[in-house]
Structure 1
Amino acid sequence: MTGYLVGCDIGTGGTKAVVIDLRGSVKGTHYIEYPLITPRPGWAEHHPDTYWDAVVKTIKLSLEKAKINPSQVLGVGLSAMSPACILVDKDLNPLQNSHIWMDRRGTAESMQIKAQIGDDEVFRVSGNPIDPYYATVKLLWEKNNRPELYNKAHKMLTAKDYPLMKLTGQPVTDYGNASLIGVAFDIVKKEWNRPMLQELGLDVDKFPEVFPCDEVVGYVTREAAALTGLVEGTPVVAGAIDCNAAWVSTGIIRPGDNSITLGTAGVWGVVHEEPSFSRGMISVVHAADSRNKYTTVGALVCAGALIRYFRDTFAQVEMHAAQTLQISPYEIMNLEAEKVPAGSDGLLVLPYFMGERTPIWDPLARGVTFGMSLAHGRGHYIRSYMEGVAYGIKQNMKMVSEAGIPINPVVGMVEGGANSRLWRQIMADVLGVKTAYMKNSLGAPVGDAIVAGVGVGAFPNYEIVNDWVEMSEYHTPDPKNEKVYTGMYELYTSLYPRLKEDFVKLAEITGYK
């Protein structure tokens, strides 16, 4: 078989598309950045059409760069940061802004679900906890706070589902995104738990129909073809979550395989086949062989978001220098951080700038910079952000290991912050394991294309990716740094319990709950 595949990933800060051939070579790619809307602390939104506009432009320009005949595209796959809550009416028009995974407004609704259903029952059904992170909680917030929009809504969709709907006309979702809609999604039976939704007063019909990640769920419409440059009738598969798509692209598909994705969020996950889930973690159906495999995920709300925040807020000097030198400002920021020793001379950051997911699940937690002195410079702050994320990943890995889920002793790294050699070494030193890096990987969009390839029969299975994966750089722990980080990690884990009640008081004082 000859032909090409298109993958497109909708991220928190931007969207990237690729065109690959059937040997895994990228023939064309394009990326578009866009802003996050934060109308008040704890809220995080996009306009849904931001996703669609970005998908249109990135696919169109990727096809143009690939210089191929669009009729040769065999299939299309999408992924996105997840979850998100987008309400569409019967004409499939959006009714509100998308409140995304980072949004923490559903604190009261989480307490409502705990009171009505209980943590144990939700975990038994979904393999997940109750938290404002999950889209079912977000939908309940809409019902409680904007009932006129809830009543008008035909379907709730995620950030991947909305452009999928615009591409095909089908308002559906996939097993992975359904896992993060959460609460009432039966992760083993892979269906909505109707009695639970009815008990919460939520209309089951507002939830999208669910499909395996690689199942063809629709075809590019005439209108979408005119905008994207794709051919009308091109098959489109159900799609995936961004981190799982990224892991597919790097061959993280077998039990025990594990990887870190350092995008806006920091996400670590391990693959397993047994439907055995770890309390406090995120449980997701894997994009590879979604009928049979899972990933247990530890997810920090902020990872690359911290470095971008520093760039946008404090790095005007680096931005100007980067423009003059025609390089990325992140390269200059890395050089500053590299001059700082392990442990950042005692500067330690809790990366809870937008609350936190695993393992503390606290929407009221906030970022803390601990140990500041007049001796600390810009490089200290940049490095301490990187180290704080690494401490958070380590905390999650330890909990999953203690739950008995097997984890291979090499952790893969891909995308975003993983492009920083310094950050990869920090991860190796903090985690105490070897890290493996794929330099030329474009991550999630390539994984999306692979999922589409399996779905349309271009590939016999997901093992094909192992013929393409080539790790370009390994990092092993530095014993001297490891010793420093062991002490800093112990301090890191001790700070939050001491501050937990203070975060509650802060929310009460400011009214930002």
Structure 2
Amino acid sequence: MPSLLGIDNGLTVTKAVLFDVDGTQLSVARRRVEQLMPRPRFVERDMAGLWRATAEAIREAIAASGRDAGDIKGVAATAHGDGLYLLDHDQQPLGPGILSLDSRTGSIMERWTREGVVEKALALTGQPPHVSAQSALLAWIRKHEPERFGRIGHILSCKDWLRFCLAGTVGTDRTEASIAFTDVQTQNYSQEALDLFGLGELWHALPPVSHSAGIIGGVTAEAARLTGLKEGTPVAAGLHDVTASSLGIGGHRPGTLAVVAGTYSINEVVSAEPRIDPRWSCRNAIEPGQWHDMAISPASAANYDWFLDTLCAREQAASLADGSSIHAVLGEEITAALARPSTLIFHPFLFGSPFGDKASASFVGLRGWHKRGDMLKAVLEGIAFNHRTHVDALRDGFSFDEVRLTGGASRNPAFAQMFADVLDLPVTVTQTDEAAAFGAALCAGTGVGLYASVQHDPRDLLATATVYQPDKFRARELDRRFSLYNRIATSLQALWPDIESLAETSHA
């Protein structure tokens, strides 16, 4: 029976997931990948270590599936977008990979804003640069690490590094090619874009572009030895994980809003023409002549994870020990908190925000009688509010009549219902556990001819989906709270730089 392998690498975990050709998940294996933080605002990882962890996960997933590796007809990877993975001219890693949580380029972004580079980039490339964009990171390396800059041979994204490790070929796909250096109108690389960022001499380092389902090579002998895959197994180009998640839940098509509540708040629609606005990025969709419009910020479920790690460590340890779910353990606290009114509002800006990199998280309205459940409810509500900030922006530019929600937190019915109430829209949660990995598998299956196109999903997603209808009373109440949430954030904007400066005070 044919099967497909989808690889999904996030910011902390790399996963290998095997699917039957009908879309049934056969097995999944995970490995944590260490984040390196050598200095404040630096978030990196060892590239060789990432590949070793991924290879181990692939070998385990094959063993757990009970299928022969020869049944795997195609492989594709997806991974976190933005950030930077460099190879030198000998195709060797050139320093650590840089994750999309990195924010070392703040001063560059401030200068680009003053000098009009951000405004020009929006008009040319369809998106403003940001602190973890390849354009900003390369400009930082040019300024601070000129020797490293001079040795750049290939500019890759994370999934392109994994594809190189699998098949030994350098390249990218349309979705990843458009993260910094393409003309939004032509959807092709632009020398003008490179020149705008002061990176004109790097044209040679831009990777060749393939369709996400294009077969770009086969598993090498070395990769086969490390992973247990059969040498020569076809490898597809793969795609950006934002796009892969949308594709994996049936949301990568016009008229549908796909929402991913993961480390990042991701909110995305597909359009038949480019529409440019500073509130979203207009990038290439999978197919030529379509654009993927994404309003995002690093301000979603990572805040929930932080809360669990910081304030629920004992319960987390107990859950790990007895195999129970930490979400179920805390369910009663959340349910009780949802049933009572609260003055507590949380801004989920622990790792970033739509308000710029100076913004920080905060609880406002905290009282002595509030319990942990009230704080957790506020965190979940703040996450949903941050998504609404982006969704409201997209509503100004696009029409959509369906919302599909994915991400680990979407498995919590109370959280999914909160999204429906906050957005005041029906929200569909499909039974897709590994949406991004399946999006990659769809590309691999299309590449080897098992599917007519990436849109020919073999699953009947709606047959097993849950649709959450908004409660009109709760929607009105949450709308009032969202208005206050925004007014508080606006008031704090002038103070966030001063708050940030407290960390720079010398004690000498």
CA contact (8 A) 1:333 1:382 kept: no
- Equivalent in 340, 348, 351 of residue 337 of structure 2: 340
Q: 2:347 aligns with which of 346, 350, 354?
A: 350
193-202 or 369-378: bigger deviation:
193-202
Q: Deviations over 1:383-438 (max 9, x none)?
A: 111111111111111111112x1112x31112311111111011011111111111
The answer to whether 1:318 aligns with 2:315 is yes
Match of 1:421 among 413, 435, 451: 413
8 A contact 2:316–2:326 mirrored in 1: yes
RMSD: 2.1
2:152 matched residue in structure 1:
153
Q: Which of these residues, 430, 435, 442, is aligned with residue 438 of structure 1?
A: 430
| Cα distance between partner residues in 2 of 1:8 and 1:110 | 32
Tell me by how many angstroms 1:114 deviates.
Answer: 4.0
Aligned to 1:456: 448
Distance 1:436 1:75 in 2: 30
Q: Compared with structure 1, are the counterparts of its residues 59 and 367 closer, same or farther at alpha carbon in structure 2 (3 Å cutoff)?
A: same
- Asked whether the 8 Å contact 2:117–2:197 carries over to 1, the reply is no
The alpha-carbon distance between structure 1 residues 415 and 387, as it changes in their structure 2 partners (threshold 3 A), is same
Counterparts in 2 of 1:116 and 1:457: CA distance versus 1, 3 Å = farther
Match of 2:109 in 1: 110
Are the aligned partners of 1:216 and 1:237 in contact in 2 as well (CA < 8 Å)? yes
1:491 offset after TM fit, Å? 0.9
Inter-partner Cα distance in structure 2 for 1:79 and 1:451: 10
Q: State the distance in 2 between where 1:97 and 1:460 align.
A: 38
Structure 2 residues not aligned, in runs of 5+:
none
Report the equivalent of 1:384. Answer: 378
TM-score by length of 1: 0.92
Provide the aligned length of Structure 1 versus Structure 2: 502
Name the counterpart of 1:472: 465
Counterparts of 1:425 and 1:229, CA distance in 2: 42
Q: Distance in 1 between matches of 2:11 and 2:307?
A: 17
Q: Is the 8 A contact 2:212 2:443 kept in 1?
A: yes
Aligned residues of 2:22 and 2:458 also touching (Cα < 8 A): no
Structure-2 residue corresponding to 1:494: 487
Secondary structure of 1:346's aligned partner: coil
Confirm or deny: 8 A CA contact 2:299 2:350 kept in the other structure: yes
Which residue of structure 2 aligns with residue 510 of structure 1? 503
- Letter of the structure 2 residue corresponding to residue 458 of structure 1: L
Determine if the alignment matches structure 1 residue 375 to structure 2 residue 369. yes
Q: Paired residue for 2:77?
A: 78
Of the structure 1 ranges 199-208 and 98-107, higher mean CA displacement relative to structure 2 is found in: 199-208
Distance 1:335 1:185 in 2: 49
Taking the aligned partners of 1:462 and 1:165, their CA distance within structure 2 comes to 22
**Distance in 2 separating the partners of 1:402 and 1:30:** 41
Q: Could you say if the C-alpha distance between residues 78 and 460 of structure 1 is closer, same or farther in structure 2, counting changes exceeding 3 Å?
A: same
Identity fraction in percent: 23
Q: Which residue of 1 aligns with 2:231?
A: 232
Partner Cα separation in structure 1 for residue 31 and residue 116 of structure 2? 41
Moved more, 184-193 or 70-79: 184-193
- The one-letter amino acid of 2:182's match is F
Give the TM-score taking structure 2 as reference length.
0.93
| SS of match in other structure, 1:160 | helix
Deviation at 1:234, TM superposition (A): 1.5
The answer to whether the 8 A contact 2:252-2:269 is kept is no
Gap change, CA 1:122 and 1:493, over 3 Å in 2: same
Tell me the alpha carbon deviations over residues 234-259 of structure 1, each in whole angstroms, 9 at most, x when there is no partner.
22111111121112111113211112
Question: Which segment is superposed worse, 428-437 or 208-217?
Answer: 208-217
Structure 1 counterpart of 2:403, from 385, 405, 411: 411
Task: Assess, with a 3 A threshold, how the Cα gap between structure 1 residues 439 and 495 changes in structure 2: closer, same or farther.
Answer: same
1:189 Cα deviation from its structure 2 partner: 2.2
Alpha-carbon shift at residue 447 of structure 1 (Å): 0.9
Is the 1:116–1:200 contact (alpha carbons within 8 Å) kept by the matching residues of 2? no
TM-aligned CA deviation for residue 506 of structure 1: 2.6
Query: 1:14 offset after TM fit, Å?
Result: 0.8
> Residues 344-372 of structure 1, C-alpha deviation per residue, up to 9 Å, x if partnerless?
6121111111222x4x3x11111121111
* Equivalence for 1:26: 25
Distance 1:441 1:257 in 2: 20
1:201 pairs, out of 198, 202, 207, with 198
Gaps of 5+ in 1: none
Equivalent-residue separation in structure 1 for 2:173 and 2:348 (angstroms): 30
